[in-house]
Structure 1
Amino acid sequence: MDLEIRQLRYFVAVAETGGFGSAARSLHIVQAAVSRQIQRLERSLGVQLFDRSTRHVRLTRAGERLLAEARAVLDAVEHTRTVAAELAAENRQTLHLGTTRAFDARTYQLLDDLAETAPDVRVRLHRFAPDERLAAVRSGELDAAVVRVLDGAPGLDFTALWTDSLMAAVPLGHPLAEHESLSLGQLAGLPLRLAPQRNNPAFHKLIMSACQDAGFVPPLGPPFTTFEATLYDIAVGEPSWTVFYPLGDLPRAPRAALRPLTGITVTAFLAPARTSHRRSDT
């Protein structure tokens, strides 16, 4: 799924103005460009966002759900631009951003948009564990950090960026692999491969709490190690499963089935340093 900030901006404009023509006028572009981008967004998501059967377009249920998320993403982009503008005004040309250790396609989409709006600001990525990221923001080592699951931390302000759906991995030959998507309840009988709580406390708590809300405590299998090793073990070992949020394109897993996990999502947040704590580059 490849979303563009421009598409979300056009989508919000149509939703708020009630029509493609009025949205185009508010955006100072032609109506055909708005319609084309909305159609691409709908194809990318696989859902219809607007009911076009009436004189004034109306949001579908899927569109209503997306609207709040789209506004949050646009607010986060604007917040990032503000941080970049402050850096430029202070004659500091580098924004130090904490991210996950793995390649994260969503973060790079945000960076691409920032590069267009603040081309004089260079972004340097620092890959830390979640707790280390937040500590570095507090100390001023980082100007901001992207974190998942956590929606707040002492001394920091969080802004929602986007929401990720989760995926489950099960053995390809298991009966559950025949389903197009899976719920937590369907996975109740399989051992769960989850990283130790100390590695990512927030994500560990999210998954365990969600399983309990679904009516079961998952039996724990061998711990999640690396992504590739865990998928291999699921493919060739005793039946088990794991859960993850995609950071980019789904990996090749010849003997494991990767299925969307319904009923649970993960939100990413931007945690910027407060102005007085930001680092000063020389």
Structure 2
Amino acid sequence: MSLAIRDIQYFLAVAKAGQLSSAAEAQGVTQPALTKAVRRVEQEFGLQIFERSVRGMTLTSAGLRLAEQMRRLQANYADTVLLADAMRAQQAGLLRIGVTDTTAGNRIAAVLGPLLMQRPGLRVRVRVDRSDALAVQVVEGELDLALVPAYEGQPLEAERTKIDNDPMLPLVRAKHPLALRSRLSLKDVANFGWMTGPVHSAAYRALEEIFARHGLPPPTIVMQVPFASEMNLSVLATTDLVTLVPRSFMRHAPDHRFAVLPIAALRIPRAVVLLSRPGSAWSPLMQTLRDNLLALGRS
């Protein structure tokens, strides 16, 4: 095969974006460069791989099958580059990591600092995204590892290494009407608005399923946020909103300002997992990061 790995990269970018302009912007190249790459792929295999229209470019049935194989090829190439980096220098290399948030309590932050000090040649790229999006990027070889929360029954394509348990807890301000009651039920909470992730987030879906099991309408999102943060707590302290926060985040929520509601149904089980590509080789850097995260979880 006479194709370059860059042709494959550009072909997959166009397949993902569905438009040359969007793919060119994402790759930082011109549209003609992508057009030539797509033409080389079609000539190499003697197939029409895109249906072209005024709305963009859609993969043909042959193109869909080809794209699936190309993603595997790209991921294998990424593994090979990673292995070569590791062999060139145990103390150097590139580590591409995905996380779902950038709060101070993120476990990645706790282990990256010492790792960077120990290995001056190490270079790190961090990507912040949703857990399902990061799982896809790991499987496709765009990321080496991703540290994400995982809820019970949540499908994530990548291989998982459990790091710790970090359940979600229902939180309100200390003088919230619900915090002042001696007895509470989930029905009582249904009357209040929520600060939570968007409706497609795993946290909201878990919350919605709990309400549905108890015959209640979906919770009302008053304030939509990407993850738990101290800004959220500032808003929570001055409103009657209800939110869910990870147990690990509770050190930011002092007892005199906030209260965890004693409702068992709203204590949502959740694990912290490290995602890797199934069947891929782990570089020494990846192994060290995993071992440090596991040690942090045990402590």
TM-score with structure 2 length normalisation? 0.49
Q: What is the match of residue 207 of structure 1?
A: 207
Task: Map residues 72-111 of structure 1 onto 2, 5 A cutoff.
Answer: 88-89=86-87, 91=89, 93-103=93-103, 105=105, 107-108=107-108, 111=111
Contact 1:169 1:231 in 2 (8 A): no
Superposed CA deviations along residues 110-158 of structure 1, whole A, max 9, x for unmatched, are 7379949xx558472513112442233133221111121255433x212
Q: What is the match of residue 189 of structure 1?
A: 191
Cα distance change of structure 1 residues 113 and 160 upon mapping to structure 2, 3 Å threshold = farther
Q: Name the CA distance, whole Å, in 1 between partners of 2:169 and 2:175.
A: 17
Q: Name the CA distance, whole Å, in 2 between partners of 1:232 and 1:185.
A: 26
Choose the corresponding residue for 2:277, options 255, 266, 273: 273
Instruction: Report the 3-state secondary structure (helix = DSSP H, G, I; strand = E; otherwise coil) of the residue aligned with 2:102.
Output: coil
Superposed CA deviations along residues 198-248 of structure 1, whole A, max 9, x for unmatched, are 4xx2222111112323442344041233744543444334x3311121554
Cα distance change of structure 1 residues 160 and 276 upon mapping to structure 2, 3 Å threshold = closer
List gaps (5 residues or longer) in structure 1.
1-83
Q: Name the CA distance, whole Å, in 2 between partners of 1:172 and 1:178.
A: 8
Cα distance change of structure 1 residues 221 and 109 upon mapping to structure 2, 3 Å threshold = closer
Task: Map residues 126-145 of structure 1 onto 2, 5 A cutoff.
Answer: 126-130=126-130, 131-145=132-146
Q: What is the match of residue 159 of structure 2?
A: 157
Superposed CA deviations along residues 234-263 of structure 1, whole A, max 9, x for unmatched, are 4334x3311121554533579852416644
Choose the corresponding residue for 1:176, options 178, 188, 191: 178
Contact 2:98 2:129 in 1 (8 A): no
List gaps (5 residues or longer) in structure 2.
1-81, 284-299
Instruction: Report the 3-state secondary structure (helix = DSSP H, G, I; strand = E; otherwise coil) of the residue aligned with 2:251.
Output: coil
Contact 2:167 2:246 in 1 (8 A): yes
Larger of the two Rg values belongs to structure: 2
Instruction: Report the 3-state secondary structure (helix = DSSP H, G, I; strand = E; otherwise coil) of the residue aligned with 1:204.
Output: helix
Q: Name the CA distance, whole Å, in 1 between partners of 2:161 and 2:185.
A: 29
Structure 1 residue identity aligned to 2:222: P
Contact 1:98 1:144 in 2 (8 A): yes
Cα distance change of structure 1 residues 230 and 181 upon mapping to structure 2, 3 Å threshold = farther
Cα distance change of structure 1 residues 246 and 86 upon mapping to structure 2, 3 Å threshold = farther
Point out the more displaced range, 168-177 or 228-237: 228-237
Q: What is the match of residue 236 of structure 1?
A: 238
Q: Name the CA distance, whole Å, in 2 between partners of 1:180 and 1:163.
A: 29
Structure 1 residue identity aligned to 2:197: A
Task: Map residues 34-49 of structure 1 onto 2, 5 A cutoff.
Answer: none
**What is the aligned-residue identity percentage?**
19
TM-score with structure 1 length normalisation? 0.52
Q: Name the CA distance, whole Å, in 2 between partners of 1:102 and 1:229.
A: 13
Q: What is the match of residue 260 of structure 2?
A: 259
Superposed CA deviations along residues 147-184 of structure 1, whole A, max 9, x for unmatched, are 21255433x21222211122322233224324799874
